[in-house]
Amino acid sequence: MPDNLNSSIPGADTQSWLKTHAISEVECLVPDVNGVLRGKTLPAAKFLKSLDDRALYLPSSAFLVAIDGRYSGSIDEGFAYQDPDMRMVPDVSSLCLAPGSAGRAYVFADTFHMDDRPWMASPRHVLRTVLDLYRRRGWRAVMAPELEFYLTAPNPNPDQPLTAPVGRNGRPESVQHPYDMQALEEFEAVTRRLYEYAAIAGLPVETLIHESGTAQLEINLLHGDPLALADKVLLFKRLARQAAQASGMHATFMAKPIAAQAGSSMHLHMSIVDEAGEPLFAGKDGEDTGMFAHFIGGLQKYIPEIMPLFAPNVNSYRRIRPNHSAPANIEWSHDNRSCGLRVPMGGRAARRIENRLPGADANPYLAMAGSLIAGYLGIEEKLARSPEAFGNAYRSQSTLPKTMEEALDRFAACEPVRALLGEDFFQTYLRVKSVELDLFQSVVTSWERDHLLLKV
């Protein structure tokens, strides 16, 4: 497996880059299984020293933290109580300026055992493992994420529903404004700051639109290397929250934050090229290749079995319901947004498949790894895709799990993916998600109090 020990900033060495940008502090970021950024902040001199002596450590329990901050524990009780350190190795190719913080930079770090084996519970290592499978075949995966999110008024009481924020005209949105440019201008203070932050951090932002929900926006990132883009998705989420807070709002990437509004997705566009950059999903005649058909077949077979990688939270399954502005199927079609798998319009070079099932709450490393591993298995197993769907695919029978509990059971039993992604990752992920599910199921909701309190 390739590591990052010799990666560098193109065109300049790390020390010169830090000096040029007057960096005094570096945040070393380690994404956990939920996509939460954990890690350490250290002086620039200590950061440089760690590149040589590799003496930067983080407790291994960082990968066992549930979304509510509690530890999920380990199957090995002795290991859990020892909580041994992992070695943090910064990937200096990810080094970028931290917007809004003079003299500060961000860098993503990979985690290793003390004998330099990759810590395979790390989502960055999981995605790198999948990309390495492609490289061994002489292929390179190209991806482009589209990320939806809501701007909301502050919500200090989580028992109360979210409400739309007040826009520039002094009023909150009360109706849908899909693709409305004037509605988009209502949040210009946030979007302008977000564009500035993105430029400083080097995020390849392409387009911004107002989506169908009230104060719901969508950002598109330029296609490229999946690992680098997964890093940038997490940075974008952090910067979007900062930009919103500066205007007295919140930015949320929950899959279904508002019951009566559309959910938020993270659509993933995928294609494969060879070592020379030639597209492999369409032939010289512009027709779909057998490889493309098998890739779609793999997505159709395996997505229902590994849904926790695309829908990682209980809330995720509130979004994936028919006629709720999100596909609840694994049908495929050309330019049909009611299908879970869409082939956008375009010529040979643009031939790609869009996985429309991941929610905005998905960990980008794992959603990308899951999409690519499903397609890879489709090619390896020469799986046939179903006939193309036409019309309203929301009416199609769904084979997707309807609850987190069902999704985790199917995920645990998916042996082909489990074998490729590794037991360390599966055990860790299932442990964290099972604990989160148990915590949720112990909560009595407002719906139960509203409808059961005085009637049953």
Extents of the domains making up the chain: 14-119, 132-441
What percent of the chain has a predicted confidence (pLDDT) above 90?
Answer: 83
Strands 250-252 and 104-112: unpaired
Q: Closest by alpha carbon to 306, among 215, 241, 401?
A: 401
Q: Closest by alpha carbon to 234, among 248, 221, 245, 216?
A: 221
Residue-level pLDDT at 79: 62
For 54-105, how does the pLDDT look when each residue is reduced to its tens digit (9 = 90+)?
999 999 999 999 999 998 876 665 565 678 899 999 999 999 999 988 899 9
Token pair listed for 119: 């810590």
Residue-level pLDDT at 82: 77
**Distance of alpha carbon 93 from alpha carbon 277, whole angstroms:** 22
Helix axes 123-136, 364-380, angle to 10 degrees: 30
Residue-level pLDDT at 81: 60
For 169-187, how does the pLDDT look when each residue is reduced to its tens digit (9 = 90+)?
888 888 788 888 888 888 9
Token pair listed for 344: 């956008």
Residue-level pLDDT at 3: 39
Classified as helix, coil or strand, 73 is coil
**Distance of alpha carbon 99 from alpha carbon 313, whole angstroms:** 30
Cβ proximity of 64 and 84 under 8 Å = no
Any idea which residue has 């998905």 for tokens? 362
Least confident of 5-9, 109-113, 418-422: 5-9
Q: How confident is the model at residue 244 (pLDDT cuts 50, 70, 90)?
A: very high
C-alpha distance from residue 334 to each of 5, 294, 322, 350 (Å): 42, 16, 19, 13
Q: Which residue has the higher pLDDT, 325 or 455?
A: 455
Q: How confident is the model at residue 324 (pLDDT cuts 50, 70, 90)?
A: low
Cβ proximity of 210 and 220 under 8 Å = no
Mean pLDDT across 16-41 = 96
Residue-level pLDDT at 10: 38
- In this model, does residue 18 exceed pLDDT 60? yes
Cβ proximity of 56 and 40 under 8 Å = yes
- Do 14-119 and 132-441 show the same overall fold? no
Q: How confident is the model at residue 7 (pLDDT cuts 50, 70, 90)?
A: very low
For 247-279, how does the pLDDT look when each residue is reduced to its tens digit (9 = 90+)?
999 999 999 999 989 999 999 999 999 999 999
Alpha helices, DSSP H, located in 54-168: 77-82, 123-136
What percent of the chain has a predicted confidence (pLDDT) above 70?
Answer: 95
Mean pLDDT across 288-312 = 98
Mean pLDDT across 201-208 = 92
Mean pLDDT across 4-24 = 70
In CATH, which of 3.40.190.10, 3.40.50.2300, 3.30.590.10, 3.90.180.10 is domain 132-441? Answer: 3.30.590.10
CATH topology of domain 14-119: Ubiquitin-like (UB roll) (3.10.20)
Residues 6+ apart with CB under 8 A from 76: none
Name the DSSP class of 314. Answer: T
Least confident of 240-244, 279-283, 346-350: 346-350
Residue-level pLDDT at 179: 80
Residue-level pLDDT at 77: 59
| Mean pLDDT score of the chain | 92
Residues 6+ apart with CB under 8 A from 375: 270, 272, 295, 296, 298, 299, 353
CA 387 vs. chain centroid, Å, equals: 29
Q: How confident is the model at residue 1 (pLDDT cuts 50, 70, 90)?
A: very low
Per the DSSP assignment, residues forming a β-bridge with 209 are 218
pTM for the whole thing?
Answer: 0.94
